[in-house]
Amino acid sequence: MRLRWAYCGLVLLSGCATDALYGNASLQTYESDLAACEKTYPDEYKKPVKPRALCFNRANETRGKRDGTFDLVHAMTTRMLLEAEKFDASKLTPAEYDTSRAAIFADFMTKMELRANSKAVADAAQSQANAAWAANIPRPLHCTTFGRSTTCY
């Protein structure tokens, strides 16, 4: 369930452009993939949790490939899988497992926000550069003489 919300946050940060690019079918496919994982593995703490993590990871990574965010999604899902393996090996309590997944998700969301902000800054810088260039283009001077006065513009 947490990975599902992780990706929903990802879609929000990316401006929900996915649905515009890929249509509602992409979102429906993703939602049905998540529902299948939830149905197959309803208890997030029932060991082994690794198959549940793998199921959600596949759904998230498939969506990340379509959205162009695969690198960040893959980094998150790989870390989530590592935590699932630790939980299965009884190296983590359920509370520690939740804490580690929350930290991974927070890191993921921070990176997504940084990416979105960096793109906005880069786009703004390009717009400013284009405006500065356009403002400095030499304009041809047109002068009109009327009597003893000349007006140029």
* Distance from C-alpha of 124 to C-alpha of 122, rounded to nearest angstrom: 5
Please report the pLDDT score of residue 132 as a whole number. Answer: 75
Q: What value does the mean pLDDT take over residues 54-71?
A: 93
Contact present, 1 and 71 (Cβ < 8 Å) = no
Q: How many helices (H) and strands (E) does the chain have?
A: 6, 2
Report the predicted TM-score, pTM, of the whole model to 2 decimal places.
Answer: 0.66
Q: What value does the mean pLDDT take over residues 48-73?
A: 94
Query: In the predicted model, is pLDDT for residue 76 greater than 80?
Result: yes
Domain boundaries, the chain: 2-119
Question: What are the pLDDT digits (tens) for 11-56?
Answer: 433 334 444 444 577 889 999 999 999 999 999 999 999 999 999 9
How many Å from the N-terminal Cα to the C-terminal Cα in the chain?
Answer: 66
Question: What are the pLDDT digits (tens) for 90-115?
Answer: 999 999 999 999 999 999 999 989 98
